[in-house]
Amino acid sequence: MHKIFHPFPFENKISISESESKHLCRVMRLTEGSQVLLLDGDGRKGLAEITLANPRKTELKIIEIDKIERRANFNLTIAIAPTKNIDRFEWFLEKSSELGIDRIVPILSSRSERKIIKPERLNKILISGVKQSGQYFLPRLEALTSFEDFVANNNPGFIAHCETGMKTLPFTEAIKNQTDINILIGPEGDFTSKEVSFAKASNYEEVTFGKSILRTETAGVYCSAITNALL
Amino acid sequence: MHKIFHPFPFENKISISESESKHLCRVMRLTEGSQVLLLDGDGRKGLAEITLANPRKTELKIIEIDKIERRANFNLTIAIAPTKNIDRFEWFLEKSSELGIDRIVPILSSRSERKIIKPERLNKILISGVKQSGQYFLPRLEALTSFEDFVANNNPGFIAHCETGMKTLPFTEAIKNQTDINILIGPEGDFTSKEVSFAKASNYEEVTFGKSILRTETAGVYCSAITNALL
């Protein structure tokens, strides 16, 4: 069934946006009487029927509202430096939203080459990943935050960088028995040793993703895959 | 150090291709006396010195050859239907070669929309992923093979599809204590139930990747990430 993101509460009669209406009528070719699913991104699911199929302003009538419970086993925050090539960051968002992630904090670190992101476009990618993979919870994309501010204002978690030795804790071990996972992933040029020291002084623990040196976006997707698989 | 893929044996004096020579001289700006690393993709590593820095035909002299041992813990084959949008398949190749994979078999199944691939371009992506992530073994990309031929000519492994129930074996459990992992991943429209039955009749076991419905390329990257993390 076609899914539409719509903020809660779902009123009894709902008008949807022009772009969504156009998609519904012109691309999906849905007509009056067809059913669609409204999602609020926070677990609410509203079964609705099209009462007016108008490509400018389609109207829906709510039939039934359900609430899906959020998984209780873990909460995953990835604080990650957006990549110079935005496609790579967008891939990370798409794949992580398919796999399951709760919160993404784009961070600005000393070696960040990308200093601007477009939240609206990035949120659309998250919505599409969530729809695609049959989930009900939309990951929260926060504003671009400095590395130091993030570390100062969040409970300590893990930091991944390329200078780790053989004895560094593997991420797979680090997350065992944890419920709130919070991991810092650096830009293409890696975190500086000053940043690593700053995080460690704030009780962040260094972790490794194995023998390969992963690109920023691959590291992000790896964390989403492993957390969802192991917790 | 700059890495160049070159077939073994490494002769004492080596001339490298024009495109690689151009990259070395024009982009990397390396000159006579600079050192580079030759890789054969099968664990051999040759330290070499540039004896002639010519953007048309650079020449190298081998200084030392090492052999890196292949990891012994597992062998991962992913037999996967190339996606309609080739970018998605290329992304799978890039990420899996970064994470670690041994053999990729592009398969043609009933619902495959893409029936042609360009092995030369795809191999370049694998080479770049292996270089990028600091590995020494190049994954083997096989020719496009029909689903039935693949199943008939390979030892049974696992098949992932979207119609699995709650009781289906998770991939994370399925690979425990295995050394030869062989997993079938279908196209956008999924495997047909006839294909699933055919695989099961050939002793393939159904597996699930968790609660999310993953896109073809995400499923592929998930298998590479999990196998490398757990085995």
Handedness of CA B89, B220, B227, B181 (dihedral sign): negative
| Statement: residue A184 has pLDDT above 90 | yes
Which of A179, A209, A191 shows the shortest CA–CA distance to A146? A191
B218 touches chain A (CB under 8 A): yes
pLDDT of residue B40: 96
How far A46 CA sits from the closest chain B CA (Å)?
Answer: 20
Q: Report the CATH number at residue A175.
A: 3.40.1280.10
A118 & A25 share domain: no
CA distance B82 to B111: 11
Query: Could B221 and A95 be called an inter-chain contact, meaning their C-beta atoms sit closer than 8 Å?
Result: yes
Least Cα separation, residue B42 to chain A (angstroms) = 16
Q: Would you give the DSSP letter of residue A170?
A: E
Q: Do B229 and A221 touch (CB under 8 A)?
A: no
Inter-chain touch B210–A228, beta carbons under 8 Å: yes
Instruction: Enumerate residues 6+ apart whose C-beta is below 8 A from A203.
Output: A156
CB contact B229 to A (< 8 Å):
yes
Q: Which of A67, A85, A117 is the last residue of a domain?
A: A67
Q: What residues of A are in contact with residue B100 (Cβ under 8 Å)?
A: 210-212
Check CB contact under 8 Å for B225 and A230.
Answer: no
Q: Identify whether residues A110 and A134 lie together within a single domain.
A: yes
* Minimal-distance CA residue of chain B relative to A135: B212
Q: Which residues of A touch B214 (CB under 8 A)?
A: 98-99, 133
Q: Are residues B40 and B128 in the same domain?
A: no
State whether A85 and A117 are in the same domain: yes
Same domain? A147 vs A221: yes
Q: Are residues A60 and A83 in the same domain?
A: no
Chain B interface includes A164 (CB < 8 A): no
Cβ neighbours of B133 in A, within 8 Å: 212-215
User: Residue B49 is part of a domain; what is its CATH number?
Assistant: 2.40.240.20
Read off the pLDDT of residues B12-43 as tens digits, 9 standing for 90 and up: 899 999 999 999 999 999 999 999 999 999 99
Domain that holds residue B169: 75-230
Q: What are phi and psi of B106, to 5 degrees?
A: -70, 125
Nearest to A106 by CA among A97, A116, A96: A116
Q: How do the pLDDT tens digits run along chain B, 231 residues long? A: 999 999 999 998 999 999 999 999 999 999 999 999 999 999 999 999 999 999 999 999 999 999 999 998 999 999 999 999 999 999 999 999 999 999 999 999 999 999 999 999 999 999 999 999 999 999 999 999 999 999 999 999 999 998 877 789 999 999 999 999 999 999 999 999 999 999 999 999 999 999 899 999 999 999 999 999 999
Alpha-carbon span A199 to A152, nearest angstrom:
9
* DSSP assignments along B195-216, one per residue: HHHHHHHTT-EEEE--SS---H
Instruction: Choose among B95, B172, B222: nearest Cβ to A218.
Output: B95
Tell me the pLDDT tens digit for each residue of A122-159.
Answer: 999 999 999 999 999 999 999 999 999 999 999 999 99
Place of tokens 């099209």: A50
Verify whether the Cβ–Cβ distance A229 to B133 is below 8 Å: no
- The domain boundary residue, chosen from A67, A101, A119: A67
pLDDT in the model for residue A166: 73
Alpha carbon distance A151, A195 (integer Å): 10
Beta-bridged to residue B104, according to DSSP, are B78, B141
Residue A188 scores a pLDDT above 80: yes
**Chain mean pLDDT for chain A:** 95
Element (H, E) at B36: strand B35-39
pLDDT band (50, 70, 90) for residue A167: confident
The pLDDT score that the predictor gives to residue B85 is 97
The pLDDT of A66-83, averaged and rounded, is 96
- A62 shares its domain with A90: no
Confidence (pLDDT) at A163? 81
Average pLDDT over residues A158-180: 91
**Residue contact A222–B210, C-beta within 8 A:** no
